[in-house]
Structure 1
Amino acid sequence: MKIQIEQLKKSYGEKTAVDIAEYRIPEGEMLGLVGNNGAGKTTLFRLMLDLLKADDGRILIDGEDVSRNERWKETTGAYMDESFLIDYLTPDEYFQFIGKAYRLDKATVQERTDRFERFMNGEIKGQKTYIRNLSAGNKQKVGIIGALIHNPSLLILDEPFNFLDPTSQSALKYLLKEYNQTTGATILVSSHNLLHTVEISSRIALLEHGTIIRDLTNNSGEAEKELESYFEWKEDGEAEKEN
């Protein structure tokens, strides 16, 4: 699925959260969204998912304004945070709930979640524990798997590597790259971790104060060097201000 952003603006009082004149994400792109806290990554994702109302402008998914129709929801999967979960269900009950929402039978849900066994590491399926009692890392896994059950053409994940141990982070990177390659899905991932972003992304967008200030093709080491240089400069600048 392709995404078009046109004259998009969102502010909270005097603070500008998102200000993007034009940006296009072609179908099949693996886009990494990076930036410091407050750069606008989560706000942009919430605008894409119609969880926030823009002050101006619009976002189009396959030519459809997300704020004016709901057809795009059938082919979009997303996980932002724990608010996406139903914490009084077990993981298996949650997966079946998601499956029913997309008209999938129990056997299909079982088959599709089995594909993520490496990522689940034997800690999710078949457990009688309620989601609210899971570790933060396992809650993260449940949310990500739930976003993938209906084989979305567009997948949006906000800080998916948070709370995961190194083995699970590695499994998630493999999962996302394989899903992108085998389905041609468009995948958008935000992360504070530059290494994870560079490893999985074909393209990287750098946000600052809600604006995309770098749009980098990640086909060489240049993107990583430019990002490292930017964040090192920001850290040095902040240190100077404090002094």
Structure 2
Amino acid sequence: MIEIKDLKKIYNGVTVVNVPHLEIKKGESIGLVGNNGAGKTTLFRMMLDLIRPERGEVLINGELVAGHENWKNFTASYLDEGFLIDYLTPEEYFYFIGGLHQQSPAHVDDFLSGLTDFFNGEILKRGKYIRDLSKGNQCKVGVASCLLQNPQLLMLDEPFANIDPSTQFRLKNIVKDLNKNKGVTTLISSHDLNHITDVCDRILLMEKGVIIKDIATSSSTLSELENYFGVEQAFAAPVKIDEEENH
């Protein structure tokens, strides 16, 4: 479904992403892990044609992402609150997203009723603009808007970071259901090794812009990653965090 060829991004003379080749098949669940500054968010943004690489290309279903639109019809992503329209209420935003996909307000309402547990009474009918919600609740809005689009490809950057444990559990079940029962290709970046190994069947470990490990998830994957980061942290020198990674 996704093919990356010779993809490179450079900031201020420093290569922050360098992926010679990567293939992701339809229906795979991919986890992307790495320390701050590893290039995860930059890679996601290039895959979504939000920033342009110095060289290389990303193809989705054989079509170049850069300069083309068809892939957007079946791709949904939430990287941060910048993807939201913060002066709308959550309801207004959901109706807007639904309208872009030819969904009536009644259809949107019916869909949202299935996310009652995920919202936990904190999103709908609260009389708040999105900008006034907590980061965790903004994340819920962003994820829900992705689900509303019924995507074939779902990309989420740090979706577990600001939500409470109950919502983390519910989100994991939602993502697992999309992948296992609906065949949705999922790409999730996370610092939480427990969550990412639980949700994803394949883990990409990224360090200084390079994918240094490509692991099929097994019972030993979590301990392998914990050992890697434990040793790496014990001996690593301080690293300047890439500004793009924090966007």
TM-score (norm 1): 0.95
TM-superposition CA deviations, 1:78-132 (whole Å, max 9, x none): 0011111111111011000001111111111112222222111111122211111
Among residues 227, 230, 241, which one is paired with 1:232 in the alignment?
A: 230
Opposite residue 231 of structure 2, the aligned amino acid is W
1:120 — aligned with what? 119
- Runs of 4 or more consecutive aligned structure 1 residues displaced over 2 Å after TM superposition: 238-241
TM-superposition CA deviations, 1:111-160 (whole Å, max 9, x none): 22222221111111222111111111111100111111110000000000
Displacement, 1:239? 6.9
Opposite residue 182 of structure 2, the aligned amino acid is T
Cα distance in structure 2, aligned partners of 1:113 and 1:8: 38
Opposite residue 142 of structure 2, the aligned amino acid is G
Opposite residue 201 of structure 1, the aligned amino acid is C
Secondary structure of 1:232's counterpart equals helix
> How many pairs does the alignment contain?
239
Deviates more, 1:126-135 or 1:185-194: 126-135
TM-score (norm 2): 0.94
Structural mapping, 1:16-165, within 5 Å: 16-165=15-164
Cα distance in structure 1, aligned partners of 2:134 and 2:223: 35
Displacement, 1:209? 0.8
Secondary structure of 2:50's counterpart equals coil
TM-superposition CA deviations, 1:43-71 (whole Å, max 9, x none): 00000110000111101101011003110
Opposite residue 236 of structure 1, the aligned amino acid is A
TM-superposition CA deviations, 1:187-216 (whole Å, max 9, x none): 000000100101100100000111110000
Aligned-residue CA RMSD (Å): 1.4
C-alpha contact (below 8 Å) 1:20/1:211 kept by paired residues: yes
Report whether the alignment pairs 1:214 with 2:213.
yes
2:245 — aligned with what? none
Displacement, 1:40? 0.6
Cα distance in structure 1, aligned partners of 2:231 and 2:44: 26
C-alpha contact (below 8 Å) 1:155/1:187 kept by paired residues: yes
Change in Cα spacing, 1:77 to 1:240, as seen in structure 2 (3 Å) is: closer
Q: Which runs of 5+ in 2 are unaligned?
A: 240-247
Secondary structure of 1:156's counterpart equals strand
Deviates more, 1:231-240 or 1:203-212: 231-240
Displacement, 1:180? 1.3
C-alpha contact (below 8 Å) 1:18/1:43 kept by paired residues: yes
